Amino acid sequence: MKLTMFLVAALLVALSLACSKVNNPRTATESTASAVSPDSGTDSNSERGKKMPEKIIKTDEEWREQLTDEQYYVTREKGTERAFTGQYYDLHEEGTFLCIGCGNELFGSDTKFDSGTGWPSFWSPITKEAVKIETDNSYGMRRIEVLCSRCDAHLGHLFDDGPAPTHLRYCINSVALKFDKKK
């Protein structure tokens, strides 16, 4: 039974990746990671950024008290919400997307675009220091994971099939975000 569930999950992940390659056959590789390194200059919104606050470190128990079960699963256990179910994938208001764990400013609505994937997608973080990226080798594939640089919350993944000017797609879980509407 466990093997069957694992195989079904692996098939679903493979299908998801195949769907993301339909519009662009390129895949996220280390070249994508280097394209968004802190020195890459892909940050289009650095004038809005502030000096990064100190690192947030909490115990699992503290995170469980602060976050809902789904928020904890996605941000602390590196889970993924189902496509087209998050509250922000189809949001078109002006404002700033913050980390649900620590309030770190992550993405501006001016870099959000409709990728058709069912998750909020952005072509650039609000500042290059707002997020960090790491290689993710889970589920037998290599992807680029996007994390909050302040509290290490798992946010989503980075792909190189986004629009100009960066050609990047930060595919982010809605449940990992809080939206601060522009007043």
> Is 148 designated active site?
no
Residue at 20: amino acid letter: S
A 10 A CB-CB count for 60 gives 10
3-state secondary structure 39-50: CCCCCCCCCCCC
Catalytic residue among 102, 148, 151, 171: 171
Are 144 and 33 in contact, with CB atoms under 8 Å apart? Answer: yes
List, in sequence order, every residue forming a beta bridge with 178; answer none if it has no partner: 98
Cα–Cα distances (Å) from 174 to 30, 68, 76, in that order, read: 25, 13, 14
* Catalytic residue set: 171
